[in-house]
Amino acid sequence: MKPWLLSFFVAFAFWSCSGSEEKQDDSHRSQPNVVFILADDLGYGDLGFLGQQYIETPNIDRLAKEGMFFTQHYSGSPVCAPSRSALLTGLHTGHTPIRGNSEVQPEGQMPMTDSVQTMSKIFQQAGYVTGAFGKWGLGMNETSGEPVNQGFADFYGYLCQRYAHRYYPAYLWENGQKVDMPGNDWTAKTTYAPDLIQEKTLEFIEQNKEKPFFLFMPIVTPHAELAAPDDEILQKYVAKFGDEKPHVAPEGGDYGPDMKISAYQSHPNPHAAFAAMVERIDVYVGEVLDKLDELGLAENTIIVFTSDNGAHREGGADPDFFDSNGPFRGYKRDLYDGGVHVPMIVKWPGKVNAGSTSDHVSAFWDWLPTFADILGEKTPDGIDGVSFLPSLTGSKEQTSHDYLYWEFHELGGRQAVRQGDWKLVKYQVIDSTKTTLELFDLSKDPGEQNDLADQNPEKVKELEALIAKSHKPNPIFTLFDK
């Protein structure tokens, strides 16, 4: 072959490959970025647009005005780890691998198996950069459950949710490496970890502005302990609430040589601290919105805001004062709606109508198939979730769940099922001599105050059969298999 002809073919091949790669990049850019914001123990009534009277949440309220609010959305569980497991796997707590807050010593929780398909792995399959910043709780470094084995290329924050009880930890984790917190040593409190996590979150957006990204923000607040920097936000609420009865921690709660990591510190202004922690979430949301606007990404980004379960009553928190559970009965660890009925907002410019609401009944395990639907990826077989993309876009008829199911592996065992407007709540499951069954019609009684079990024995029997059908034995979480 003549040299000039060989040069032509080499140049043509290089041009063809370059053009192909450029086209690939363009197709990726057409995919929406996704920011999934998960607050920790934030109650349904803790937000301004849902009636909160004391705490200011202007950025989350703005998000609701610019997106769709789901009035009937449920978390995966009434506590942290299984709720996240249900979210990522598309499986409810009768099927998902992690069904309780099972501790592993010296640090971490029971690791989720790396063989399970997760929402984040689906994003990776679709060519997305993935990152998680905040609280993990599904397995420590060098286990099957660590973030990199569950579809997250980048992680910064708390791997162990027990350590996330402390807002001034001695260290955090970044991609498997310990990162010391300046000035913190379990006695001194200098660096407020959530602020550093937020800095890393914003850096992730900046660094990946040219690529499609999935950003998971499992924010630590307002989970106990009560802790907020002494800044203008806290001082605003100190002035608002005036003199308060201090929260005094039990032994081991306060920072110092005798501190227990799993405990919660004292606080002189517990109401002010809690309010400041919630508003700080709102500030973080506002910073993310501003960053997306600044980089020209806002119009091609889906933003989700929700909470992992209902309001807590730990470490001096006072949900009754703030009416944190809104119209619902119960708190964190309850399977009444106060424990699992959570706020949920979706903003997607050009796809989701601004200021709209949906009454579609949905749950955390629906997110995996919904995102698979959006991305054009295959939905795994055998999951419990149902895509609610039709509810978001109004493009076609929405498929509804036959029922929703939860189980909780503490406090004697708890189970619940919702089918249509009927909800059956079963407590003290393990000891049949103590078992209680309550039946509610949520269409007339969203606060679950009127037990209709005695008047509807056939409905109770029918829903109990669904409970029995929904639990699959698990070799680690065996409470319901005894």
CB 346 within 8 A of CB 34: no
Between 7 and 434, whose confidence is greater? 434
Instruction: Share the mean pLDDT of the chain.
Output: 94
Tokens of 50: 């849902």
pLDDT tens for each residue of 97-110 = 999 999 999 999 99
- Whether the per-residue pLDDT at 10 is higher than 60: the answer is no
Distance CA 426, CA 423 (A): 10
Express as a percent the part of the chain with pLDDT over 70.
Answer: 94
- Residue 229's pLDDT is what? 98
Region 166-175: mean pLDDT is 98
Q: Which two tokens stand for residue 407?
A: 């189980």
Quick check: 136 pLDDT over 90?
Answer: yes
Q: How does pLDDT run across 342-388, given as a tens digit for each residue?
A: 999 999 999 999 999 999 999 999 999 999 999 999 999 999 999 99
Predicted pLDDT at 29: 56
What's the Rg (C-alpha) of the chain?
23
Is the CB of residue 79 less than 8 Å from the CB of residue 408? yes
Whether omega for the bond prior to residue 222 falls within 30 degrees of 0, making it cis, is: yes
Instruction: Give the architecture-level CATH label for domain 31-399.
Output: 3-Layer(aba) Sandwich (3.40)
pLDDT, residue 11, reads 39
Question: What's at 213, amino acid-wise?
Answer: F
Per the listing, tokens 């119009």 go with 299
The whole-angstrom separation of Cα 441 and Cα 425 is 12
Nearest to 269 by CA among 296, 297, 246: 246
- Could you tell me if 415 and 408 are in contact, meaning their C-beta atoms sit under 8 angstroms apart? yes
Q: What pLDDT shows up at residue 24?
A: 34
Structure tokens of 268?
A: 């002189």
Class of domain 402-482: alpha beta
Q: Tell me, what amino acid is at 45?
A: G
pTM for the predicted model, two decimal places: 0.93
**Average pLDDT of the residues in 398-410:** 97
Q: What is the mean pLDDT of residues 404-431?
A: 97
3-state SS assignment for residue 237: helix
Predicted confidence at residue 130, as pLDDT, reads 98
Neighbour count for residue 15 (Cβ, 10 Å) = 10
Q: Is the pLDDT of residue 190 over 50?
A: yes
List the alpha helices (DSSP H) in 90-192.
119-125
- Domain map of the chain by residue range? 31-399, 402-482
Distance CA 243, CA 276 (A): 16
Q: What is the mean pLDDT of residues 120-132?
A: 98
Q: Model confidence at 17, in pLDDT bands (50, 70, 90)?
A: very low
Q: How do residues 18-43 score in pLDDT, each as one tens digit?
A: 333 333 333 345 799 999 999 999 99
> Residues 319-338, buried b or exposed e (16+ Cβ, 10 A)?
beebbbbbebbbbbbbbbbb
pLDDT band at 482 (very low <50, low <70, confident <90, very high): confident
CA separation for the pair 13, 33 (Å, rounded): 32
| Residue 309, SS3 per DSSP | coil
- Structure-block tokens of residue 386: 């149902």
CB atoms within 10 A of CB 71: 13
What SS3 state is found at 350?
coil
What is the pLDDT at residue 27?
36
Give yes or no on whether 31-399 and 402-482 have one common fold: no
Q: Are 82 and 352 in contact (CB under 8 A)?
A: no
Residue 6 has pLDDT above 70, yes or no: no
The string of pLDDT tens digits covering residues 308-347 is 999 999 999 999 999 999 999 999 999 999 999 999 999 9
